[in-house]
Every structure is written in structure tokens, then in C-alpha cells.
Structure 1
Amino acid sequence: MQAAAIPTGPTSERLKPEQARSLLKALSDPLRLRILETLANGERCVCDLTGELALSQSRLSFHLKVLREAGLLSDRQSGRWVYYRLKPDQLVALQEWLGSLVTHCQRPATGCND
């Protein structure tokens, strides 16, 4: 299987503040970060994730659902197994949103009308 191309340029859609909040909330849990780090190595089956992360299937499923609903993961079913992978476009969009904060926060203040 060929690796998916990771978008590196500007995305066609800018994140709206509510989308950024949703992504950041999904990323705020240490366990969900571990799941993302595991999936950074490529698509994985739920059965592999439960073993590697030492989680019950119900606990893992809850966190996968949060990440999927935030738009960070996609899934596909093959037989009785579900496979998950990261959605790089969402990570790039969040990166661009954070980059715009960096750019804008460096602007000097305008003078006050005394």
C-alpha cells in the first residue's frame, strides 16, 4: 500500500473558531494524543490498538469516536474489523490556524486615543 500524500500548502478551507475549539478539545486528552501518535505510523486495526495501548475496546472506542467526530480520523470496515487512520488535512488546517495566531499576535498595539 502506498503512503498517502500529506498536504503541505495552504488548505482550501480555513478553520472556523468552533472547528479549532473542537479539534483542540479532542487533542486535550493524553490518551487521545497517544492514539494519534500511534496512528501517525499508519492505518491500524482496532484489535491492534487495544493491545498496543493496553485499553479495553469500549474505552478505546469512546476515544476513537471523539477523534473521528472532531474530524481527525477516518475509518473503514473490512469484515468484522474497523481500521483507523489520521486525516492529515485536518492536522494541516489546525497547524495553519495556529500559525495565523503566531503571525497576528506579533502585531504592535495601535496608540490609544487619549
Structure 2
Amino acid sequence: MSLELTPVQTVACCSPLTRVPLSEKEADGVAPLLKALADPVRLRLMSLVASHEGGEACVCDLNDAFDLSQPTISHHLKVLHEVGLLDREKRGVWVYYKARTEALQNLAALIGGQAK
């Protein structure tokens, strides 16, 4: 059984910030991703999941990294999932999260594009 939500539109085709100014529509699409990552807990969670073997981690693997309750950790993971940075899949009683590497690569390209 898989839990699926429709994520907010992720960055798919924006030119790097250093080449072309973002349109209002592009900025509206990118802002939720950056807002989600602007929280230190969510940024660490994203890093923990992405750096975990296979780019996937069980919520049970993430709880011990924080001095926060499990519901709080789950809330932060839900935010990352809803903006399209993480996929999730329920397996038995646990939920496994996987980094959406294409979304991270698109953000990296947007922010770190080389000026020509």
C-alpha cells in the first residue's frame, strides 16, 4: 500500500537565476520548495534521507537524530513530501521516505547555475 499526495509543482525548467530573471509564475513554483527547506529541522531531515543508503530512510531511522517528538518529525516530513521533495511509501507499520533527487537537482541548477 502506498500513500500518495499530489505534490506542488516542482522546479522543472527554470533557467538558473544568474542567467534569466524568474517569472512570477516560476517564483511562485520555487518559493514553496525553498520555504520548506528554510526550516533547520526540515533541511536536516532532507539531508538525512538523501544521504541514507539508497536515498531512502524509514521514519524510525530519523527520530533519534532529533530531540523532538515523533509526531513533530512526521509533520516536518509531511511538509517535505507535500512540496515534492520526498516520496513516501507505507510498509507495514512504518513509512519510508525517499529523496526526489530530480527535484533537488533542479533546485541546485536553479541556484548554482554558471553564468555564461
1:4 paired residue number: none
Query: Is 1:14 aligned to 2:24, yes or no?
Result: no
1:92 paired residue number: 105
Instruction: Give identity over the alignment, percent.
Output: 43
The answer to which of 66-75 and 32-41 deviates more is: 32-41
1:74 shift after superposition: 0.3
> For residues 66 and 99 of structure 2, what CA distance do their matches in structure 1 show?
17
Higher relative contact order structure (alpha carbons within 8 Å, sequence separation ≥ 6)? 2
1:27 paired residue number: 37
Give 1:91's aligned amino acid.
Answer: L
1:43 paired residue number: 56
Q: Deviations over 1:62-111 (max 9, x none)?
A: 101111111100001111110001100001111122245x63xx8xxxxx
> Alignment RMSD, CA only?
2.0
1:67 paired residue number: 80
1:6 paired residue number: none
Distance 1:96 1:57, change over 3 A: same
Name the larger-Rg structure: 1
SS at match of 2:72: helix
> For residues 42 and 62 of structure 2, what CA distance do their matches in structure 1 show?
12
Structure 1 outlier segments of 4+, above 4 Å: none
1:82 paired residue number: 95
2:67 paired residue number: 54
